[in-house]
Amino acid sequence: MINILCKEGLPDEAYRLFGSMGDNDCLPDNCCYNVMIRGFLRNSYTSKATQLLMEMVGKGFSADIITDTLFMDLIIYSNKSILL
């Protein structure tokens, strides 16, 4: 559902659903974080994607090859720096 909302250009709705996962005893994992990060990046919400990456790492999850690829694609294809 989160992935579909992001693909439909509704990342804020996806984030609300993502945020409520814990209320239903379904905590997000690496895969859920990557889906949200991908959705934010596809919809040009780079600061939200970066913030979510920091939250992910802060909760003890590691950025994996998928996470790294998402941010590398952003840098390569959009010629933007998310490190600023």
| Averaged pLDDT for residues 76-84 | 60
Question: What is the predicted pLDDT for the residue at 16?
Answer: 93
Q: How confident is the model at residue 76 (pLDDT cuts 50, 70, 90)?
A: confident
Overall pTM surpassing 0.85 (yes/no):
no
Which of 42, 41, 66 lies closest to 51 in space, CA to CA?
A: 41
Q: Where are the domains of the chain?
A: 2-78
CA gap 77, 12 in Å, rounded: 24
* pLDDT per residue as tens digits for the range 12-58: 999 999 999 988 888 899 999 999 999 998 888 889 999 999 999 99
**In this structure, are residues 45 and 9 in contact, taking their beta carbons and an 8 Å threshold?**
no
